[in-house]
Chain A
Amino acid sequence: MAEPEAAAVSSLPAATEPPKPHPKKAPELPILERKNWLIYLLYVRRDYDECKAVIKEQLQESHGLCEYAVYVQALIFRLEGKIQESLELFQTCSILNPRSADNLKQVARSLFLLGKHKAAIEVYNEAAKLDEKDWEISHNLGVCYMYLKHFNKARDQLNNALELNRHDLTYMMLGKIHLLEGEMDKAIEVYKKAVEFSPENTDLLTTLGLLYLQLGDYQKAFEHLGNALTYDPGNYKATLAAGSMMQAHGDFDVALSKYKVVASTVPESPPLWNNIGMCFFGKKKYVAAVSCLKRANYLAPFDWKILYNLGLVHLTMQQYASAFHFLSAAINFQPKMGELYMLLAVALTNLEDIENAKRSYEQAVALDKCNPLVNLNYAVLLYNQGDKKGALSQYQEMEKKVNAAKESSALDFDPEMVEVAQKMGAALQVGESLVWTKPSKESKSKQRAAPVGKSSSAQQPLGSNQALGQAMSSAAGYGKTMQLPSGTSLLLLCEV
């Protein structure tokens, strides 16, 4: 809140007049500016009612010419959410004093708050002509450009603002632009600088942590999220992200206790219930998991991750009809994911619809690039159908993926998967070319962006399938998603 002060300073010197010839009397201020100090005092004390009364009086005395009174009135209107009125008053201000960059800035700010970004940019440009060295103007110009999707200009303006004066907000906006353009690395750089600049800003810390999480750099993510939680233990986003990371490492109880902290403050959050459900799933409390997940799904019917998890849990519980239902719903919302098709195929296999299962596997193989499970499952199916040749080719495909994964040193395979693969290899008589040795247990990182809890599906011998996919847990999403809340399906009333 810099401007009232600035305005006060700019108007007050004019107000103090040279002392009067008669020293007995108090120095008399011109009628226009007499009560500016009082208005300012009341405004900064947030005593808005009193402040408005004084302003009204002052405006009546000065016949509406007191610039500062109008200015503060407009600020109060803005705080009350009446942007249109505040815009009109700021325009009056800038008519009263056309040489003030401040007034123009406020006009532009009001325009910006009304969503008229182009007009705001024009006014900001005019203001910039009056005052060249103002970081606010550059920052706001940048934000306006961002809303208009002129990212290059926006970036220039924001960098300009940073040069003039460094602020957390500017960093945030710059990072956001990089994310919007899809440049994760640059965004991380920006946020890193921002965190160096103000290490106690939990928003910055959380965002950075989430970005690291998306990149799979768990160490750093944990560090930053932990910092954020130290400063603000009730931070919902950070808690959710930290919890999902713990889940990924199997510390379900710790994660649950984390969730318990925020569950009372955010009782209707779909991601939270999703993660809690997956915690229970990890602890093999399937019924509890299903009820948590279904609550999440009831609250957010459009979220494919919840549907995916529901499908996964039902597959584990061997309720294939329900699993099929949830998975096909998830596919409708997220058609570009190989694993969904794989799980769908598993469900279809158990529903004795082999034709469709095969098709679904085809789709999965076409969409998936790095998950060997898909091929392995397909191979099992083909083998069980007596198609040894196809099984062999899928097995080889899987080996390729495994080799690739080995090279990228993200070596973590489900022991169950390994076991099945070995049996499969033996059955296909390619067993000696096993690509993996005993997998290293300690790092269980996964290649996908979303952090994952490990599935623990009961593994059966070759006869029935297979290691299932991984659970999705959502780390507090960035984009605020639209709700479909009226969602509460209407039970009709029984009228008799």
Chain B
Amino acid sequence: MGLEPEPLFQAWSYFRRRKFRQCADLCSQLLEMPPGAQESDSEYSVFQAAWSLKTRALTEMVYVDEIDMDEEGIAEMILDENAIAQVARPGTSLKLPGTSQGGGPSPAVRPVTQSGRPITGFVRPSTQSGRPSTMEQAIKTPRTGLTARPITSASGRYGRLGTASMITNPDGPFINLSRLNLAKYAQKPKLAKALFEYIFHHENDVKNALDLAALATEHAQFKDWWWKVQIGKCYYRLGLYREAEKQFKSALKQQDMVDTILYLAKVYVRLDQPVTALNIFKQGLERFRGEVTLICGIARIYEEMNNISLAAEYYKDVLKQDNTHVEAIACIGSNHFYSDQPEIALRFYRRLLQMGVYNCQLFNNLGLCCFYAQQYDMTLSSFERALFLAENEEETADVWYNLGHVAVGIGDLNLAYQCFKLTLVNNNDYAEAYNNLAVLEMQKGHTEQARALLQTASALAPHMYEPHFNFAILSEKIGDLQRSYTAAQKSEEAFPGHVDTQQLIKQLKQHFAML
């Protein structure tokens, strides 16, 4: 008996130190002991303790915060109609990217992702930048064009989490869900919570999780806000947003929690009601003054609505509370960079560097800021380090592309040419590089090559106005007015406020009407 608690204590200690693998192994050993060796009279036996500890350890290994898990597959984007207003008024919807009011930088200054949403400073799993309008378009566009990760047909990543954990368990799953008597477990809240988290996060079996939660909340006589939030999460996963909203609201009435507020706002964003979400956040801020996640949520929504100036205000509020917030620093930094203040952007990115962020993107950004802020001593070394730290070919391509810009900046067109070529070697679908190469070819007078490159660029990225516009100018110069006109029209579609395009179209229309 004296030795009995030792392994359990050890396992518990492992768990608290977040050494989940060791904890799970130890628990397995405990569980393999014959059940007769344990006392079974008390309500919670050692066996149950080990079992519960192991579920928790396994869950924590693959745990991802549900709030930041927001991925829309193609199906959710197109086939799913949850928004009430089909044609919302500008400024009240997240689905109309073209309705910028915040006076952010135009596409001529800041690159855009898909049709009009300026690129942001920070990628989250739930970052969406514009949505496709038809199924064909969604399938045709590059897979990472709309979300931070390659897009799938229906939020497939949830499933992937489950399979990933299977590999960690070579001798099969720990709990066979179909054999569990959920009603029995629901009677014991201490076991039920751990089991629920296991089912939800580890197995990704939303239906069983929902069953368990429903039974448990009944057992708790609907007085436990935690179960309500969990049921809401399950509903949200299943796509029942209104039901989820109900659960979250009810939970919020019982107990004010930041988590619940965030979940509720998430539901409203999914329902395309950004103004309601903003209100929820602001009410939450009254209860939790200066809560960083809430302020940050407000800023994100403003950014999605293309209201950059307001977003920047809120990001600044975030920094007043938490001056190491990576997302806020990165977003403000990129805002400053694209509004003609590379020196200030440089200070923000150096702050990130001081905090110990050490990756390719940061050094690339530092290099760019240094170059445009005329700190020539640190420019190239930053880019070198970025190249060294690049983890995949896309990142390498990005760095070479930016090096090409530096080369253009110092007037060395040959170097620029090589840089853009290297970009394409690393990433064959780099539309910006095709466009810039075409411009360089044009400077040399190779019209045909330039045209071919521009066509490739505009096919790869129909949302960029530059290749269309350049192609229109080129065609106009050699007299092919029809192609020029079609290209100019596409350019106008991509960037409606572009003055040169408008002038070109006017000129072409005159040609068509004259004589």
Contact = CB atoms under 8 A, between A and B. Distances in A.
A483 interface: yes
Contact of B473 (A115, A301, A480): A480
A301 B402 CA distance: 13
B285 to A, nearest CB: 25
Interface string B457-495: 000000011110110011101111111011001000000
Contact of A494 (B110, B352, B500, B511): B352
Contact of A491 (B107, B334, B508): B334
Nearest to B431: A486
Interface stretch (A47-55, A56-64, A320-328, A422-430): A320-328
B334 A79 contact: no
Question: In the complex, which of the residues A302, A332, A490 has the most CB atoms of chain B within 10 Å of its own CB atom?
Answer: A490
Interface in A72-109: 78-79, 81-84, 109
B436 interface: yes
B411 A485 contact: no
Contact of B122 (A139, A140, A493): A493
A325 B337 CA distance: 20
Contacts of A147: 478-479
A484 B439 contact: yes
A482 B108 CA distance: 14
Contacts of B482: 81-84, 113-115
B120 A493 contact: yes
A465 B364 CA distance: 38
Contact of A492 (B107, B365, B464, B485): B365
Nearest to B122: A494
Contacts of A119: none
B299 interface: no
Nearest to B461: A486
Given A491-B337, A492-B364, A484 B408 contact: yes
Contacts of A494: 121-123, 326-327, 330, 352, 357, 359, 361-362, 365
A484 B457 CA distance: 13
Contacts of A329: 409-411
Interface in A471-496: 480, 482-496
B88 interface: no
Contacts of B364: 491-492
Nearest to B363: A492
B206 interface: no
Question: In the complex, which of the residues B365, B464, B478 has the most CB atoms of chain A within 10 Å of its own CB atom?
Answer: B365
Contact of A268 (B109, B479, B515): B109
B428 to A, nearest CB: 17
A269 interface: yes
Question: In the complex, which of the residues A82, A112, A299, A494 has the most CB atoms of chain B within 10 Å of its own CB atom?
Answer: A494
B372 to A, nearest CB: 8
A2 B515 CA distance: 7
Contacts of B408: 301-302, 484
Given A83-B481, A298-B109, A493-B122, A482 B402 contact: no
Contacts of B409: 301, 329
Given A331-B411, A486-B432, A109 B326 contact: no
A267 B482 CA distance: 28
Contact of A490 (B374, B398, B473): B398
B368 interface: yes
Interface residues of chain B: helix, strand, loop or mixed (majority)? helix
Contacts of A307: 411
A302 B409 CA distance: 8
A165 interface: no
A152 interface: no
A220 interface: no
B466 A483 contact: yes
Interface in A1-25: 1-3
Given A268-B108, A485-B469, A495-B148, A294 B340 contact: yes
Nearest to A327: B411
B106 interface: yes
A265 interface: yes
A486 B464 contact: yes
B192 to A, nearest CB: 34
Contacts of A330: 411
B306 interface: no
A488 B368 CA distance: 11
A486 B435 contact: yes
Interface string B223-264: 000000000000000000000000000000000000000000
B contact residues, range: 35 or more
A79 B121 contact: no
B357 A81 contact: no
B512 interface: yes
Interface string A121-158: 00000000000000010011000000100000000000
Contact of B480 (A115, A265, A319, A491): A115
A298 B410 CA distance: 12
A197 interface: no
A483 B513 contact: no
A493 B361 contact: yes
Interface in B385-407: 395, 398, 401-402, 405
Contact of A495 (B123, B402, B464, B499): B123
Interface string B422-454: 000000000110011001001100000000000
A496 B515 contact: no
A6 B265 CA distance: 66
B46 interface: no
Nearest to B326: A496
A266 interface: yes
Contacts of B121: 491, 493-494
A291 interface: yes
A268 B109 CA distance: 9
A333 interface: yes
Contacts of B98: none
B338 A488 contact: yes
Contacts of A301: 405, 408-409
B376 interface: yes
B123 A488 contact: no
B111 interface: yes
Contacts of B511: 113
B512 A488 contact: no
B122 to A, nearest CB: 5
Contacts of B486: 81
B412 interface: yes
Interface string A240-273: 0000000000000000000000000111110000
A492 B391 CA distance: 13
A492 B405 CA distance: 14
A454 interface: no
Given A322-B374, A329-B409, A482-B442, A492 B360 contact: yes
A305 interface: no
22 contacts: A81-B512, A113-B511, A115-B482, A147-B478, A268-B498, A295-B340, A302-B408, A328-B411, A329-B409, A329-B411, A333-B411, A485-B465, A486-B466, A490-B111, A490-B402, A491-B337, A491-B368, A494-B121, A494-B326, A495-B122, A495-B148, A495-B361
Interface of A: 1-3, 78-79, 81-84, 109, 112-115, 117, 136, 139-140, 147, 169, 265-269, 291, 294-295, 298-299, 301-302, 307, 319, 321-322, 325, 328-333, 480, 482-496
Interface of B: 106-111, 119-123, 148, 326-327, 330, 334, 337-338, 340, 352, 357, 359-362, 364-365, 368, 372, 374, 376, 395, 398, 401-402, 405, 408-413, 431-432, 435-436, 439, 442-443, 464-467, 469-470, 473-475, 477-483, 485-486, 489, 498-500, 508-509, 511-515
Q: Which 5 A-B pairs have the closest CB atoms?
A: A332-B411, A115-B480, A329-B411, A492-B361, A83-B482
Given A79-B509, A332-B411, 7 more contacts: A81-B485, A81-B508, A147-B478, A302-B439, A325-B376, A493-B122, A494-B327
